[in-house]
Amino acid sequence: MTILVFGRTGQVATELARLPDVLCLGRKVADLTDPAACADIVKSHRPRAVINAAAYTNVDRAEQEERIAHLVNAESPKAIAQACADIEVPFVHISTDYVFDGTGQTPWTPDARTCPQNVYGRTKQSGEVAIRDVGGRFAILRTSWVFSPHRENFVKSMLGLGATREVLRVVADQIGGPTPARDIALACHTIANELIDVPHKTGVYHLAGTPDCSRAEFARKIFAAAQVSCDVEDILTSEFPTPAKRPVNSRLNCESLECEFGIPRPDWRSYLQDQFADG
């Protein structure tokens, strides 16, 4: 029996595909705009666990495509969770720091009150609520600032822009923990396997890289690792308006994940040095 993964080409799904006994399903096979079909896939495969690594992640476009974002981020996860509960297998679902309002400076704990400030965050929150309401064996893993050598992400954007500019203006008041997709994939795999035998660990957990930093600080580290000669000028979020409001405080308290599953926060600086030193 395999671990069934919804998602095949995204950052985390690409890393999951490298792990043993994993079957990743792309959009052509598993379309998350069709919740009923997703549930049928789970029941037909009858895997030993399911991981949902697929989502509608275009934060700004979601402001105009709320119906599709809700289908993908809320209704399909609910249908998958129900199918998993029906056949009694664990379900691991990846969520986001965007379910919080982004205020203050204290790291958000898994039981902190959610209050998303944009459509993307609201649809991910709705998915979380639906999964908890279904019950069964599940883990919701919230993470932040995901990066990898795959697909579009902050690191690749900075490298692309930094290669053509002498100075780049980057927000310095958004604080969070950059998280390598590889470590999220490994965490999901570990959690899924453990929930098979230890169902009482069902719940909500956080995983974010360490140390916390600003977007501007992260950009400086990216350029240093890639040996790109581009200066970073600190600006405020208010100086870089976007269609969707971004959280300023994306710090996540990850203590319960390490306590229950032995998974520590990954040091993103080491990953950067290993993966992006050559640009």
120 is catalytic: yes
Determine which one of 56, 120, 205, 271 is catalytic: 120
CA distance 277 to 279: 6
Question: Burial level of 167, CB count in 10 A (0-12/13-18/19+)?
Answer: exposed
- 257, 263 Cβ separation under 8 angstroms: yes
Q: Cα separations (Å) of 163 from 108, 202, 279?
A: 35, 45, 9
**Of residues 242, 10, 206, the one with CA closest to residue 114:** 206
The residues annotated as belonging to the active site are 120
